[in-house]
Structure 1
Amino acid sequence: MNEQALEGLGSFATAEDRNRALAYFEQLKQSDNGWKLCAEAITQGVYENDHIKFFCFQVLEHFVNERYVTADPADQQLLKQTLMTWLHMQTMATQEEKSFVRNKAAQLFSLMFINDYPHRWPTFFSDLLQMLQVGEAAIDMYLRVLLAIDTEVVDREIIHTQEETLRNNQLKDDMRERCIQDLVNSWFQILKNYESSNPELACLCLEVVGVYVSWIDISLIANERFVGLLLHHLSIDVLRESACDCFHEIIEKGMDPVAKTELVESVTKVLQDSGVIPPSGEEDIDFVAKLSKLTNGIGCNLISSWQKLVKSKNSVGALNTLQAIDSKLPLLFMFLGHEDDDISLAVSEFARDYIGILKQIGTLNESQIANAQRLLLILLDKFRYDETYNFDAQGEDEIMFIDYRRQLKVLFDNLAQLNQDMVLSSVHSVVMETLGHWRSKKFTDVELAVRLLYLLGEAIPAKEGNHFVGDSARTEPIKEMMRMLVSSGVVGHSHWAVTLQVYETVVRYERFFNHEPQHIPDILVTFLDDRGLRHRHPTVRSRSAYLFTRFIKSLKHHLSNFTEEILKRIQDLLIIVLPENGHPPLLTTDDQLFLYEVAGVIITCSAVGPEKKQILLRNVLAPIIDKFNTLYPKLCSETDEQRQVLFAEIIAHAIACTSRTSKAFHSQLTIKQCGIETCYTDALDVFLRALDVPHQLGIVHASVRQYLHRMVVCLEEDVLPYVPVAVEHLLKKSEARDLHKFMPLINQIISKFKKTIIRFLQAVFMPIVRTIDTVLKQPAEEADTQATIDKQTLRRCYFQFLQCIAMNDCLEVISHQEQPCFEEVLLSVVRATIEEPDPVMIKTCFNILKRLIESWGGNGGMPLFRDFIYKYVIPACFLAPLQKTFDLTDAQTVMALAEASTVLKSIYTKDGLNLIQFLQTECFLSLPVHVDTDSAQAFCQALQEMDGKNFKGFCKMFFESAKKSVIAS
């Protein structure tokens, strides 16, 4: 073998050496004798390096997968001898092979098994069993081979073809008939003989028993001999977790529901009689977790049997199984309430399924109601944070607890669905008692009480989204709890997690304040002082900014008299500061945006007149404009790039803040009613200067574009005078990424104003097209994948631009261009249908062509375009689907084909028999694939007689057939 290439398999190999080894690997796989070289290296023990041995087994694996079935019988025999020789070598070796090498060898044995058993290698298992007498190394490999066979033949998580499934079923049948009894006997002997001398081997054997029990006769394992041995293993520290897993696999075996109940009950009785469950005084948490998992399996399998028996109307069996389930509930309660969350979580499926049973039963007896209450009490207790939980630096334990809480919430929601009154009453009791005396309670208890109230918002459905209308038995307890929450002062708790949860809960139940608005001032004050936006903890400040915005927006009609007071309170928080002054602001820039939105909302809903509203808004915006005017000259003259970025980001933030205040308005009408449109047009006059900025164009232009997007919505026609200058500047010095971010603004303007801006669009149309074309033609390095993506996105934006023009009845923008430009644009659309690999883009282009045909096609249409249809459009409808990249198994591509078929239908609607004649006499004859007379006739007939939907289906079959003939030729 190539020793130099094999050097690349070492742990410290260079990248060059590894590439050489990979190339050699490919060479050996493809070579006729490469596998033989590897087989010889394995059997002669040429190499000590474990990675080289693994490498050799990989080459053999490739041979088995790709060429073994058709190989010469002598080669098949050679490979079998290689494996058995290697196995003999393991029994005599002084040093054990690495686990990954043994596992790879076991996988190779399993591949040989599925190819050769029982026909070419009928003695497969007897050969392995004979080796067991040699020693522990052979036993280890025997067990690993069995596990590998399970992976190949049985493992349900691996998806198999129908052919493989039939093969696997036949293999299992053959094993049941020929060797399973011998295998089971060997497992028993291994477990018995090595439980003390080699517990690792015994654990591996227990794993084998667990995976095979799913498909062999259960009586081979569930008998006095085996169960007694497994019980004994439960008393051996190093074996008991594996033995527990084995018991779990036994009860998971698929069986008739009556037999399954009997099996589970017998296993449970054995475990209880032996004192294994419940685990009294057990301190080994890992083992208790295994017992919890086992209990979960016991409960879930009994519930599954009960459901099957109910469905089959076996009332006696269902009753017996339900009694069996009830008898396991003490175990469920014990494990679910365990202080260790992993142990608790292990039985969550049992708990969920049991709640499902209670839902299915409907009318519950006293015992079942008591069981549901017990479950709820356990959940309420387990929701509580541990006092060691680190809120400021969440590590793995904290993340796991958050996930655990999510699982508990599923159970909580299910209990609420089962018995809403029970859950509501229990939570009401906890909330009222805890918040009534919160100063003397642990913070974990207080946080829990507030969170439970919060969780009710999802657990108990609200009528039309409002928890405070409808049945008073449901609404009054929630009102009482909310009154307690907002009046108790708990929002001022010393632990920030409690404060934050209070605000989350207040906003979840924001409609409460519509019913009892007298509480609004108190909550407003907490948001505005050091309990909210000025809290000492940044997480509370940041989240409060968002929640305050939601609170204000939902209750704005109750706040008309608070406008000036709120603006006064947040005034200092609206100041835009440079981060270089050494005093970081209380709020981040993102948080500050929420407060500017608040300012816009409360000015809009204030009780003052339009003039006063304009003054209030100008007072908010004036410092922003001043900040812009101060920093813009600095940005233009700054030479240090780092400071350029700093100034650009502050300018962008100033523009974004102004834009955010406009979120209070949804149309021109609302902004004019408030009399403040000039505030925004004046700001626009200022901000458009930023389009001339010489540095950091990307940052600044993005903010101006966003502002223009908002102004199109809010100012409507009043923004139009500003659009030409904005477009002119945004097209300068453009790169692909800048352009495709600019195009949505143009499309928004077209969709909003349509024919109103025809004249403007006619003037800027070709400059936009030319700019896009210039950017797309700019050379880019092959390795620059981002540049390639940007250009592809820009191409898509270009066609979306044309589509937007077509869809908004603005086609005269294109038709009034000079003829060369007109034809250039139309040809770009047609070429894209044929040359583009992107099916979404192809669909867009065909959609554009359809709109053009509907507007300009037919005898009354545009003569120049009619010639264009026959010269380019119709051929494209056939050439595009015949491209190699046009994949008719892809859903998006099929949609593109459907759009092409609608183009042909549109042409037929306009031109009728002229199209049919053209197809028969010219089009079909010029295609790169032969279309026989019958197929051509069938296509024309379908085009004339079928409706649009059926014609799309016909086209798909037509082109599938045509593409097959291309491949065949």
Structure 2
Amino acid sequence: MDDLERAILFSFDQSGAVDVSLRARAHAFCAEARRSPQLWRVCVDRLISSRYPEVQFWCLQALEELLLRQRLQADGQAQPQGGISPSGGPVAADGAGAGADGECLPPEALAELRETLMAVAFRCPVVSGLTPGADGQAGGAAGAGVPLCAAWAVFIRNKVAQVIVLLIRLHYPAPWPSAFDPIVAALMAVGAAANPQTASAGSNTVAASSSGEGAGAWSLVCVDMACRVLAALDQEVLSIEYARTPEESAAAMRVKDGMREGCVAPLVHAWYCAAVALLTALGAGGEGGGGGGVGAQQGGMQGSNGAGERGGEVVLRDGRGSAVSRDEAVACVASLLETLQPYVAWMDIGLVADSRWLPLLFGLLASQTSEVRLRAAACGCILAIVNKRMDAVSKISLLQRVQIGQVAGVRLVEEIAARDEGLTLRLAELLTGGATEIMECIKKLEAGGTGGGLGGRAESVGQGFGMEEGKGAGGGEGGGGEASESVAVAATAAAQGMLDSILPAVFFLAQRHPDEDVSANCFQFLLFFVADMRRVGGASSRSAAALAATAAAAGAAEAAAAAVRERQEQHLRQVLLVVGERMRYPESSCEALDAPSKEGWEEEERVAEQRKDLFVLLRSAAKVNPAVVRSFVHETLAAALGRGAHATFAETEAAVQLLYQLGEGVTEEALKPGSGALGEMTALLLSSSSSAPAQQQGAGGQAAGAGGGGVRFRGHRLVALAWLEVIVRYVRFVQQHPEYIPAALEAFLGPYGVGHGNAAVAGRAAYLLMRVVKVLRQQLLPLLDSILMGLQRMLEAITSATPTPPPAAGKAGGAQGRGGGPFARGEGAFDDRIYAFEAVGLLLAQEEVPAQQQAACLSALLTPLIARADALSQAAQAAEAGGGGAEAAAGMVAALQQVIMAMSYLSKGFASHMVTTARPELAHHFKRAVECVLRVLHALPRSRPTRTKVISFLHRMADCLGPHVIPFLPQALPLLLAHCEPRDMVECLQLLSLLTAKHRSHMAPIVDALLAPLFTRLALLLPSSLPSLMGPPSTASDASGTPEEVREQREVLRAVIMLLHGITMADLHAAFLSPANASAVLPRVISLLLDAASLHADIALRKVAVACFIRFASDWCSVEPEKAPGFRAFLVDQFVATACLVPCVQPSFSLQDANSALLVNDISLALLALHHTCGQLLLDRLLSSLLPSLNCPPAVAANFCTQLQRGDAKIARDAFRELLIQLRAQHAPTQGNIAMAPRGFG
């Protein structure tokens, strides 16, 4: 061991045994060695002589860096024809060349380096001038005549392969045309060394022997090394699957062209010979390297005849002379085949799609005794051949030679599917890939092209498809076009036949195999397959002609077209069978899904994710042939419901789900009487909803056939939910067929609806019932008493449920009503059940209901809710005051929310006209509810959930009671404002805006009294510097809180501005001038609106603020004396400059923006309004100070004032826009924001 080896070992040490200073010295020594002019010689010498992997790796890394510098320099130079000319550094006197940092090797050194590396990788290390190991052998690891690479670790072999690939990338084909000769020789040597020896029966190890001088010159390690080099070459240089620079792409093309011309054919032959020799040695049968492909056509590696008849097994040894195990030999063959796959894409396809390779590959794939990796590798090679890009006719001819249908037999597919998932995935990729290629060819042919033209090949191609001699493309004068069409038709017929032979295997894997990767691969193909059916739109003319080409009877074309349609329907039914089978839940998960556990949730999520693709497939199939899809769903549903107690959970749920999915986007026309299958299926389901068979038939007469009372698993959680969802989706059918209304109601009101034992299902049933009531409102009126009776228990549940604190909202629940308890869905546990109150309210609120009955029912519903709310609020208040515990108080508050929501939902069906005018006695009951809610608010003023529900309830009462709700506001609003947070404040402000817009003058005293406390509360919620909240969200200052707090403050500010605008547009802005508000509120209102008009990032809010100032100017400044003293001067001096002129001159303001153009229009209207009210004062200010301060030319200012005096809105708008263009031109060079004048009023 010399100093360099010691330094490398010390620098690689990770054990901690080497002192830090010594490691530093070792790193320095290695760095100095890298600068040696003879670095490459030192590295190659150590690679051969050293037995330490660390030293070998360091040497290879140094060589790689040296060659990378060579590559960078070569990429930067012009590339002469024939390849890159390696850059020559200064050549030393002895010809050894340079290797220091920054220099590149001369041609002589590079040639010697190439020869040495290939020698140590593929031949015996007998190289002149290289130092052997200390024991006289190469590296002390291998005997004479044994490749040195046998002693290398796997990562060293990979590194050597990368260095060799760098050399090939740089120097192939010129000046190194023989780069692949050692690889070919190493592979060919395998076949030459296959000598029969005495066989050992039953041995799992390939027997040992090494007779002859050359027997030790090759070994599996050479084959392994060749595979690593070829794989690295594809990955690092040739593959198009990775992003390449232009220089890298040019180098890849150069290497590919060189290989096509020089070595691909011998390389593929060597690949084949090596594979056959190894398979023969493994007992594959056949005659060694013969063209029969080791008996592949007879079943591949059956192993009893070939080697046995020859008297023994062939000898295989590794590089050290030890016997090679069967697994190692199998891995070697698999590596050969896997390495071949990417090269197929760009080599001459005739080299692999021939009478030698194809039987070998198909034999390996079909052989049940072959190892899985061998079969997968063979499958990959066949797929590479199938995916070879070429024109359509040639591709079909290739696929015929490949005979991919021979692996599509169901028995073989079943055997592979049962053996290994990885191999099954490869087989699925082969089958779907082959089918996709065939479909693409058919698509090109049906489009009238072959993808590359037939040319002179038409005659031979036509004969390849079974056409008679002389009837090809060149078969007659002037018959070229006819013959080309004949060839295309024949090719289409052949392609369709191959596709028909592959599809059953694809359907089998898609329907039966449980592996998700296999299913996903098949589903993607089926989506493409069905989409192609839709593209064709039925029987294509050429597909029909293809069948007609083989038909001899009269009317063959018409029969062929019918046959195409029939075949398409058969394929579509197979696709639907896949959908129907794969969408089912496992029967073993029935109980876990009914009473959901963690296992049940996971299974439900898994199936829901899988169904996304399946339902897309179903909808696509319905677009291709709706009749076939409806027929399939009808048969599935009838079979599931007809089996009654014998039906399984999975088939019942799947059948109902299929009907639900089929109804997506269904029109009313499709559900009218006599409309067909959809109506029949809906009738079938509704008949099964009843506890007894329906006595009436409807929509096709099949309604009563199922006798629904005995449907098993009808009460299962998922079946019950799907059943109700279907009725809602097809509710228009019930509307058209009133005889099914009782059955539909029974489904919702019975034990499988609101009476279901699972609270989530019952709640979902209540919500879905509400949706049904919205559609069938008038038709359900005669059944009002029955509906109230059916909902009685659920309505009472709100007033009798034990207060329980809601758990944190989790994933329990969901859109389908998951969960097993009342509060399983978090804060809104009873939300869906409360929809029962909305359903009742919608029914009661009809004018056809007698007034006395209406009032009595409303009182009966509201009275227990009011009593419950009072009791809960008092108990919650007592619990808070007496320290009864936060948990108990939270439970009562949660129950209170449900009660308030119930009263709110009950009122949704009652219009303001009915409650306040037509039947005023109803208003009395809703007023009682309002009084009750206000008592709750007074008892729990600090409860945010309660405040939220109260605000929502007042919103509802504003619609229901109309102006009758206003007397309650003086009591409610101060309580809401006193403790509200930003989110509550937004809701309060929106409520005030709604009431102000609806009731206008009735709200005047409320607004007058509320402004002062409102702005007092706003001062606590908003920062003192409001402009900091008016910029874009990304620039908002975070000095006032977290980003979420700033976002909430911005929402509050927006709501305040909208409220001020609503007050102004409702002619209530006189409240700003009242004695209570003139001094404290008005200055803050004007300041806020001025900031919004000039600074807010939202142009819409700036328009709103400008509109307020227009109204102020019109109402407050048009009379003498001014209603707001000094306001006219404020408008002229500050509003015009701050809001009208300066913001529009800023570089950030774009006149081309549509919203900005609208703002400019509003500002011109504001200036026009100011001229009407302020007259000459405005003109004087514009001419004397405002416009000159913006560097406006006097002529431009005078012209604008002249146009403004004309009083026309359009003229004023155009003049103001022209003024802005002139002002922006004056300020463009500065590109800075213009300082605004001090602002304020009062």
Report how far residue 581 of structure 1 moved.
8.3
In structure 1, what is the equivalent of residue 617 of structure 2?
Answer: 411
Tell me if 1:679 matches 2:854: no
The 1:820–1:581 alpha-carbon spacing in structure 2 relative to 1, beyond 3 Å, is closer
Q: Contact (CA 8 Å) 1:636, 1:695: kept in 2 or not?
A: no
Matched, 1:295 2:453: no
SS state at 2:587 partner = coil
The answer on whether the counterparts of 1:560 and 1:602 sit within 8 Å (CA) in structure 2 is yes
Q: How much has 1:155 moved relative to structure 2?
A: 4.7
1:463 maps to a residue whose letter is E
Q: How far did 1:548 drift?
A: 2.6
SS state of the match for residue 384, structure 1?
A: coil
Deviation readout 1:64-100 (Å, 9 max, x if unpaired) = xxxxxxxxxx99x99x999999999999896799xxx
- What's the CA shift string for 1:150-174, capped at 9, x where partnerless? 8998558xxxxxxxxxx83453133
Q: 1:879 offset after TM fit, Å?
A: 5.1
Residue aligning to 1:516: 737
1:629 matched to 2:861? The reply is: no
Q: What do residues 158-207 of structure 1 show as CA deviations (whole Å, max 9, x unaligned)?
A: xxxxxxxxx83453133202467569979989997999659999999988
Which 10-residue stretch deviates more, 417-426 or 135-144?
Answer: 135-144
- Shift of residue 698 of structure 1? 0.6
Structure 2 CA distance for aligned equivalents of residues 882 and 654 of structure 1: 56
* 2:978 matches 1:737: no
Q: For the residues of structure 1 that align with 2:45 and 2:939, how far apart are their CA atoms?
A: 79
* Structure 2 Cα separation of the partners of residues 105 and 805 of structure 1: 80
How far is 1:701 from its partner?
0.9
**1 CA distance for matches of 2:614 and 2:1042?**
48
**Retained in 1: the 8 A contact 2:758–2:821?**
no
Give 2:836's aligned residue.
595
Aligned partner (choices 498, 511, 531) of residue 337 of structure 1: 511
Equivalent in the alignment of 2:1231: 966
- In structure 2, give the amino acid aligned to 1:787: E
Aligned mates of 1:297, 1:822 — CA distance in 2: 76
- Alpha carbon RMSD of aligned pairs, Å? 5.7
1:249 shift after superposition? 6.4
Q: How does 1:764-803 map to 2 (within 5 A)?
A: 764-777=1010-1023, 784-803=1042-1061
The structural deviation recorded for 1:374 is 3.3
Q: Which residue of 2 aligns with 1:436?
A: 642
C-alpha change, 1:418 and 1:374, in structure 2 (3 Å) is same
Aligned pairs for 1:436-455 within 5 A: 436-455=642-661
Query: For residue 648 of structure 1, what is the aligned residue in structure 2?
Result: 893
1:489 pairs with 2:709: yes
The number of equivalent residue pairs is 877
Q: Secondary structure in 1 aligned to 2:1088?
A: helix
Partner of 2:522: 347
> 1:476/1:494 Cα in 2 relative to 1: closer, same or farther (>3 Å)?
closer
Change (3 A) 1:210 1:628: farther
Which AA in structure 2 matches 1:289?
A: L
- Residue range with higher mean Cα deviation, 407-416 or 575-584: 575-584
What residue number does 1:463 align with? 668
Taking the aligned partners of 1:953 and 1:305, their CA distance within structure 2 comes to 63
Q: Single out whichever of 87-96 and 626-635 deviates more from structure 2.
A: 87-96
By how many angstroms is 1:209 displaced?
7.6
Tell me the residue number matched to 1:831: 1091
Return closer, same or farther for 1:629/1:238 CA change in 2, 3 Å cut-off.
same
- The partner residue of 2:1161 within 899, 902, 909 is 902
Tell whether 2:491 aligns with 1:320. Answer: yes
Q: Is the 8 A contact 2:715 2:752 kept in 1?
A: no
Question: Conserved in 1, the CA contact under 8 Å of 2:510 and 2:522?
Answer: yes
Deviations 1:738-790 (A, max 9, x none): 21232221122223223442443243234323321332138998774443332
Q: Per-residue deviation at 1:462?
A: 2.1
Q: 1:477 to 1:738 in 2, by over 3 A?
A: closer
How far is 1:659 from its partner? 0.7
Paired residue for 1:360?
Answer: 535
8 Å Cα contact 1:355/1:415 also seen in 2: yes
Q: 1:484 to 1:658 in 2, by over 3 A?
A: closer
1:525-536 to structure 2, matched below 5 A, reads 525-536=746-757
Structure 2 counterparts to residues 503-902 of structure 1, below 5 A: 503-575=724-796, 576-577=799-800, 579=802, 588-605=829-846, 608-638=849-879, 639=883, 640-669=885-914, 673=918, 675-694=921-940, 696-777=942-1023, 784-805=1042-1063, 811-814=1069-1072, 818=1078, 821-832=1081-1092, 839-840=1097-1098, 842-850=1099-1107, 852-853=1109-1110, 856=1113, 864=1127, 867-868=1130-1131, 871-876=1134-1139, 880=1143, 897-902=1156-1161
State the secondary structure of the residue aligned to 1:730.
Answer: helix
- Aligned residue for 1:530, secondary structure, equals coil
Q: Is the 8 A contact 1:655 1:704 kept in 2?
A: yes
Return the match for 1:369 from 553, 569, 574: 569
2: CA distance between counterparts of 1:868 and 1:87? Answer: 89
Query: What letter matches 2:1105 in structure 1?
Result: I
Deviations 1:943-962, CA, capped at 9 Å, x for gaps: 99999899999989997997
**Counterpart code for 1:853:** I
Residue by residue over 1:831-871, the C-alpha shift from the partner in whole angstroms, topping out at 9 and shown as x without a partner, is 346655xx33x541343214533773699698935752652
Alpha-carbon separation, structure 1, partners of 2:62 and 2:1058: 57
Counterparts of 1:129 and 1:271, CA distance in 2:
47
User: How far apart, in 1, do the equivalents of 2:1068 and 2:67 lie?
Assistant: 68
Aligned to 1:387: 587
Residue 24 of structure 2 is matched in structure 1 by: none
Distance 1:602 1:171, change over 3 A: same
Report the AA paired with residue 591 of structure 1: D
Query: Do the aligned partners of 1:292 and 1:346 also contact (CA within 8 Å) in 2?
Result: yes
Q: 1:702 to 1:494 in 2, by over 3 A?
A: closer
TM-score scaled by length of structure 1: 0.74
Structure 1 residue runs without a partner (length 5+): 1-40, 51-73, 157-166
- Give 1 or 2 for the bigger CA radius of gyration: 2
Query: How is 1:60-79 mapped onto 2 (pairs within 5 angstroms)?
Result: none
Secondary structure of residue in 1 paired with 2:754? coil
Q: Give the residue type in structure 1 aligned to 2:1134.
A: K
For 1:948 and 1:246, locate their aligned partners in 2 and report how far apart those are by CA, in whole Å.
74
2:816 equivalent in structure 1: none
Over 3 Å counting, the alpha-carbon distance change for 1:851 and 1:152 in structure 2 is: farther
Residues 491 and 502 in structure 1, CA contact (< 8 A), matched pair in contact too: no
Gaps of 5+ in 2: 1-6, 17-30, 87-103, 105-109, 122-148, 163-227, 276-317, 319-325, 451-484, 540-563, 694-707, 806-819, 1026-1037, 1235-1242
For each residue in 1:230-258, what CA deviation from the matched residue of structure 2 results, as whole angstroms up to 9, or x when unmatched?
Answer: 77886552365566567656655766555
CA distance in 2, matches of 1:938, 1:96: 87
Larger mean Cα displacement after TM superposition, 323-332 or 907-916: 907-916
Q: Distance in 1 between matches of 2:336 and 2:1094?
A: 62
The two structures have a TM-score, normalised by structure 2, of: 0.60
Distance across 1 between alignment mates of 2:942 and 2:1220:
51
Q: Using the TM superposition, name which of 562-571 and 303-312 deviates more.
A: 303-312
C-alpha distance in structure 1 between counterparts of 2:1218 and 2:73, whole Å = 47
Contact 1:146 1:208 in 2 (8 A): no
